[in-house]
Each structure stands twice: as structure tokens, then as C-alpha cells.
Amino acid sequence: MKLSAEEKKTLSSAIDKLNEGLDEIIALYNEAEEDRPFIQFEPVVMESIEKAKETFGEEEISRRINTIIKEVFSFLPTTEKSTEESE
């Protein structure tokens, strides 16, 4: 393959940019963490959430679930029970 000096310079620049992009992709891959669910819902609950999202929209269901969780946690004691107390 024969290239002029200008074509060689352009090709070299393109290769450098590809290498920089590849380095960025490798860095992102290396920094990636396992995507684990915050809460493990039962399958029937997940189905109900999906149906509700289809009906009311994801934003509304997220708002409602957050409200319910906050209410439930507001009823829990603020201090942890020791194992001696529960026995």
C-alpha cells in the first residue's frame, strides 16, 4: 500500500485516536462494578411492579414505592436491638 506523506500523517492520527478510545473503554471496563439489585424482590412482586409501571409510569411507581418504604421505616425503632434482648 502506497501512501503520501499527508495520507500517512492522517492515518497515523486516526490510529492514535482509536488507541485513545480503546484505552478509555478498557479503563471503563476495569472500573466497572457488579450490578447487584439493592433489594431482592420476589418474582411475584417484580411482576406486580412491572405491571404497575406499565399502567402508571416508572416515575410514579418509583415515587410511590419510595413513599411506602419511608413510611415502613418510620415505624421501626431507631436503635438496634441487642441479641440478648431478643432471646
Q: Supply the pLDDT for residue 35.
A: 86
Q: Supply the pLDDT for residue 70.
A: 95
Q: How far is it, in rounded angstroms, from Cα 50 to Cα 52?
A: 5
Structural contact between residues 30 and 38, judged by C-beta atoms closer than 8 angstroms: no
Q: Supply the pLDDT for residue 83.
A: 57
Quickly list H helices, 1-87: 5-31, 43-56, 58-74, 83-86
φ/ψ of residue 55, rounded to 5: -80, -50
Overall pTM surpassing 0.85 (yes/no): no
- Output the tens digit of pLDDT for each of the chain's 87 residues: 898 999 999 999 999 999 999 999 999 999 998 888 888 999 999 999 999 999 999 999 999 999 999 999 999 988 877 655 555
Q: How far is it, in rounded angstroms, from Cα 79 to Cα 21?
A: 50
Cell of 41: 424482590
